[in-house]
Amino acid sequence: VKSEGPKLVPFFKATCVYFVLWLPTSSPSWFSALIKCLPIFCLWVFLLAHGINFLVSHRSASRILAGLIFSAVGDAFLIWQEQGYFIHGLLMFAITHILYSSAFGMKPLDLKAGLLMGLVSSSCYAFLYSYLSGPFTYLVAVYIALIGFMGWRAVAGMQLCNDLWTWTKLSACIGAMLFMVSDLTIALNKFCFPVPYSRFIIMATYYAAQMLIALSAVESRDEEDFRKRR
């Protein structure tokens, strides 16, 4: 908390600005796009504050930074989703989930966690299927598969049963779950039925998810510092 907390202060301030201004989505503008993306920009700065050498030497951290960059582009596209840019935003976040999955890695495999996430993802798609039409029938299926895979890799990395978990792995796991809640709320609200307080639920879980995933990138730094102190 002492080492990472101060670096997150700009993110918390930017998030407060977004919720205080609460700009209407009915009139998209570059200003509203900036306000929406500002917390993600602050997470870029959070990772960059650990040093370029750290990002270059630790692939997981650099991939999470790349994911945050694509997330910001996706956020900007979704500002104009009613003007036909929803699919563009979907594509940007699909790339984000691929990058996050790569950052979390494939070890340990944990097939039980993979089966569980597969069942959750399949259930979500089965519920949404009857509401989908046209290209969304396939695009949503691919997207759910990607975010489910990302969730699997985050859960598998925690190794709670083996008592090998760290606070950063727990951060990645919770962040991935919150990301799934945020995107499921988007899907329900867009394709199925109006979700009460949907915008607040979507953005609150989304910002929390991105912050926790960004925090998970500092694990390799912590291990490096620990070895130096020994």
pLDDT tens-place string over residues 191-212: 999 999 999 999 999 999 999 9
Question: Domain span at residue 188?
Answer: 4-229
Name residues of the chain where pLDDT drops below 50. 220-230
Separation of alpha carbons 4 and 227, rounded Å: 19
- The pLDDT score that the predictor gives to residue 159 is 75
Q: Residue 160: what pLDDT?
A: 65
> How many structural domains compose the chain?
1
**pLDDT at residue 124 in the model:** 98
Q: Which of 58, 146, 144, 54 lies closest to 100, judged by CA? A: 146
pLDDT in tens, 33-57: 999 999 999 999 999 999 999 999 9
The amino acid present at 97, given as its one-letter code, is H
- Cα separation, 81 vs 203, in Å, equals 15
- pTM of structure: 0.93
Whose structure tokens read 């988007």? 186
Integer CA distances (angstroms), 130 to 90, 152, 206, in order: 20, 26, 26
196-221 CB burial, b ≥16 within 10 A, e <16: eeeeebbbbbbbbbbbbbbbbbbbbb
The full 3-state SS of 46-91, as one line of letters, equals HHHCCCHHHHHHCHHHHHHHHHHHHHHHHHHHHHCHHHCCHHHHHH
pLDDT of 109 reads: 92
CA–CA gap between residue 225 and residue 209 (Å, rounded): 26
Dist. CA 8–CA 216, nearest whole Å: 13
Question: What CA–CA distance (Å, rounded) separates 168 from 214?
Answer: 9
CB hemisphere CA count around 38 (13 angstroms): 19
